[in-house]
Amino acid sequence: MKKILAILASVILLTACEKEINIDLNNADPKIVIEGAVSNAAGPYYVRVSKTVNFSAGNEVSPITGAIVSISDNLGNTETLIEASPGLYATNSTTGVPGRTYNLSVSAEGEVYIASSTMPLQVALDSLIFLPFLGPGGVNVYVTIPMFTDPQDFGNNYRFILTVNNVTDDSYIIANDNSTNGAANRRPIFSPYALIESADSVQVEMRCLDRASYDYFYTLSQIAGNGPGGGTTPSNPPNNISGNALGIFSAYTTQTKKQQVP
Partner 1 sequence: MLKIKLLFTALFFLLHAGIALAQQKYTLSGTISDAENGETMIGATISVKDLSGVGSACNEYGYYAITLEEGKYTIVVNYISYSTQEQVIELNKNIVMDFKLSPDTKISVEVIVSAEQEDDNLRNTEIGVEKIDIKEVEKLPVIFGEKDILKTIQLLPGVKSAGEGNSGFFVRGGSADQNLIILDEAPVYNASHLLGFFSTFNSDALKDVTIIKGNPPAQYGGRLSSVLDVKMKEGNNQKYNVTGGIGLISSRLSIEGPIQKDKSSFIVSGRRTYADIFLKATEDFKDNKLYFYDLNAKANYRINEKNRIFISGYFGKDVLGLGDDFKTDWGNATATLRWNNIVSPKLFSNTSLLFSNYDFNIKISGNVNDFNINSNIKDWNLKQEFSHFINESNTLKYGFNIIHHQITPTRFEGTISSSDKKSRYSLENSAFVNNTMRLNKRLNLDYGLRFSMYNILGGNTYNIFENSIKTDSILLANGAFGKSFYNIEPRFQFSYLINKSSSIKGGYARNTQHLHLLSNSTSSTPSDQWIGNSYNIKPEIADQVSLGYFKNFKENNYQLSVETYYKNLQNQVDYINGADIITSPDLESELLYGKGRAYGLELLLKKTKGKLTGWLGYTLSRTERKIDGINYNNWYVARQDRTHDLSLVAMYQLTKRWSLSGIFVYNTGNAVTFPSGKYNIEGNTVFYYTERNGYRMPAYHRMDLGATYSRPHKKKYESSWNFSLYNVYGRENAYTITFEDDPNDPSRTRVIQTALFRWVPSVTYNFKF
- Tell me: does residue 23 bind partner 1 (CB under 8 A): yes
Q: How far is the CB of 76 from partner 1 (least distance, A)?
A: 30
Task: Kindly write out the interface string for residues 167-196 of this chain, putting x where it contacts partner 1 by CB under 8 A and - elsewhere.
Answer: ---x-----x-xxxxxxx-xxx--------
Q: Residue 157: which residues within 8 A CB-CB, separation 6 or more?
A: 120, 174, 175, 176, 177, 208, 209, 210, 211, 213, 214
Give dist(CA 67, CA 51) in Å, integer.
Answer: 12
- Tell me: does residue 151 bind partner 1 (CB under 8 A): no
Give dist(CA 145, CA 220) in Å, integer.
Answer: 22
Task: Kindly write out the interface string for residues 24-43 of this chain, putting x where it contacts partner 1 by CB under 8 A and - elsewhere.
Answer: -xxxx-xx-x-x--------
Give dist(CA 236, CA 223) in Å, integer.
Answer: 9
Among 75, 76, 124, 233, binds partner 1 (CB under 8 A): 233
Q: Which is nearer to partner 1, 99 or 238 (CB)?
A: 238
Among 76, 110, 138, 262, binds partner 1 (CB under 8 A): 138
Q: Which is nearer to partner 1, 77 or 203 (CB)?
A: 203
In the region spanning residues 57 to 86, those forming contacts with partner 1, defined by CB under 8 A, are 57-61
Q: What's CA 152's distance to the chain center, in Å? A: 24
Q: How far is the CB of 167 from partner 1 (least distance, A)?
A: 13
In the region spanning residues 107 to 136, those forming contacts with partner 1, defined by CB under 8 A, are 131-136
Q: How far is the CB of 187 from partner 1 (least distance, A)?
A: 7
- Tell me: does residue 1 bind partner 1 (CB under 8 A): yes
The number of residues that bind partner 1 (CB under 8 A) is 81
Torsion over CA: 203, 207, 213, 219 (sign):
positive
For residue 22, the SS3 value is: coil
Q: Which is nearer to partner 1, 234 or 243 (CB)?
A: 234
In the region spanning residues 201 to 220, those forming contacts with partner 1, defined by CB under 8 A, are 215, 218-220
Among 226, 242, 254, 255, binds partner 1 (CB under 8 A): 226
Give dist(CA 214, CA 174) in Å, integer.
Answer: 7
Q: Are 211 and 159 in contact (CB under 8 A)?
A: no
Q: Residue 38: which residues within 8 A CB-CB, separation 6 or more?
A: 45, 71, 91, 94, 96, 102, 117, 119, 250, 251, 252
